């Protein structure tokens, strides 16, 4: 059973990182597109982007916590 816990932990961390990478790519790409369309909104768009990236980065942190919980059971 310990082996299954390690596999579950690895999947949680790996999929969390994959999801965060895809999410960050979409957020930054759309922000660059928005800045290209309306350069005068650069500051507002960057601020919103940083908040979005921070929220997306919470996912892998939560996945690591879940992985540690699964490994300790």
Distance between start and end Cα atoms, the chain: 10
What are the extents of the domains in the chain? 1-72
pTM of this structure: 0.82
d(CA 31, CA 25): 10
Contacts of residue 38, Cβ cutoff 8 Å, sequence gap at least 6: 45
**CA neighbor of 66 nearest in space, from 15, 12, 19, 16:** 12
* Amino acid 1: pLDDT: 58
Domain 1-72, what architecture? Answer: Up-down Bundle (1.20)
What average pLDDT does range 38-46 have in this prediction?
96
Largest CA distance in the chain: 57
């Amino acid at each position: 059973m310990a082996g299954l816990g390690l596999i579950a932990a690895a999947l949680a961390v790996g999929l969390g990182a994959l999801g965060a990478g895809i999410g960050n790519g979409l957020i930054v790409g759309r922000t660059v597109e928005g800045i290209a369309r309306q350069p005068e909104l650069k500051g507002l768009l960057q601020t919103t982007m940083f908040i979005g990236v921070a929220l997306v980065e919470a996912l892998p942190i939560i996945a690591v916590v879940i992985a540690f919980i699964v490994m300790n059971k």
